[in-house]
């Protein structure tokens, strides 16, 4: 069964809007676990506009499910991950001023850089995932640099889901099949929602984990956090 990792960046954004510690990020993470989340994801950025680097240290002390730290591997990020040693680090090539992640790695052009990073993290026993587009060449490049997993960037799927969902999911199926052939683990994330998640999970082979934040938090405003997490879990229990 595909595992659900809840990205709690948006909770940190809400907290930071007013200062103080309401909502309490650590408490929300623990509640997510209690409500059925099988992992917690955070994406610290250099400006700390949502997840702060101290948040990562605080969460590391209490999270008992799989802890996934994702982000652009600048020097500060690398030092943080090596200090925390989470279950998984997901390398994302987002610019410091990006609103959100908007593309995967060119695993061929950046092969040397990625290979060095992967070796660094794996030396500390950290599983490494690379954020990639649904492009078989990029999947092959990811295998060549030694990553354990890839995370498929699913915004293009979500954007075209209601137009033609079979067509939208087709490149992700091909990329997943190639990952399986190469022995790569497969994650996915970005704009997956209650509308499109079950179809994606049913069609994409070998899907181990999805990381969902924005849509899940938005749904929780109407449906409640516990109920929302259970609904997302149900989408994955096909």
CATH number of the structural domain spanning residue 40: 3.20.20.70
pLDDT of residue 100: 60
Instruction: Tell me the H-state helices in the chain.
Output: 9-18, 25-34, 53-60, 75-84, 111-122, 136-144, 155-160, 165-182, 197-203, 214-223, 225-236
- Indicate the pTM of the whole model: 0.95
Query: Average pLDDT for residues 126-151, to the nearest whole number?
Result: 98
Query: Average pLDDT for residues 106-114, to the nearest whole number?
Result: 96
* Contact in structure between 40 and 8 (CB atoms under 8 Å): yes
Provide the number of structural domains found in the chain.
Answer: 1
Tokens standing for 110?
A: 């950046």
3-state secondary structure of 216: helix
Residue 99, pLDDT above cutoff 90: no
Of residues 15, 23, 90, 28, the one with CA closest to residue 59: 28
Rounded Cα–Cα distance for residues 113 and 203 (Å): 33
Tokens standing for 159?
A: 């954007």
pLDDT for 1-57, tens place per residue? 899 999 999 999 999 999 999 999 999 999 999 999 999 999 999 999 999 999 999
In terms of residue numbers, what domain contains 41? 3-236
Instruction: Tell me the pLDDT of the chain averaged across its residues.
Output: 96
**Residues labelled catalytic:** 43, 70, 190
pLDDT for 168-218, tens place per residue? 999 999 999 999 999 999 999 999 999 999 999 999 999 999 999 999 999
Rounded Cα–Cα distance for residues 4 and 212 (Å): 8
pLDDT of residue 1: 86
Rounded Cα–Cα distance for residues 228 and 222 (Å): 9
Q: What percent of the chain has pLDDT over 70?
A: 96
């Amino acid at each position: 069964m595909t595992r659900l990792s809840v990205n709690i960046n948006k909770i940190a954004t809400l907290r930071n809007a007013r200062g103080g510690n309401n909502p309490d990020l650590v408490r929300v993470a623990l509640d997510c676990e209690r409500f059925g989340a099988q992992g917690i994801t955070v994406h610290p950025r250099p400006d700390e506009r949502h997840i702060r680097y101290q948040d990562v240290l605080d969460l590391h002390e209490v999270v008992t499910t799989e802890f996934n730290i994702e982000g652009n591997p600048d020097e500060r990020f690398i030092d943080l991950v090596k200090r925390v040693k989470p279950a998984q680090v997901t390398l994302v090539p987002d610019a410091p001023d990006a609103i959100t992640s908007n593309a995967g790695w060119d695993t061929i052009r950046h092969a040397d850089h990625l290979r060095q990073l992967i070796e660094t993290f794996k030396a500390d026993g950290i599983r490494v995932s690379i954020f990639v587009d649904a492009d078989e060449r990029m999947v092959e490049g990811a295998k060549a640099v030694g990553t354990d997993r890839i995370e498929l960037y699913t915004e293009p799927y979500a954007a075209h889901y209601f137009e033609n969902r079979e067509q939208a999911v087709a490149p992700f199926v091909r990329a997943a099949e190639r990952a399986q052939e190469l022995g790569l683990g497969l994650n996915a994330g970005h704009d997956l929602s209650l509308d499109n998640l079950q179809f994606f999970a049913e069609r994409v082979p070998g899907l181990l984990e999805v990381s969902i934040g924005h849509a899940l938090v938005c749904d929780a405003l109407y449906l409640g956090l516990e109920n929302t997490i259970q609904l997302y879990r149900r989408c994955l229990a096909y």
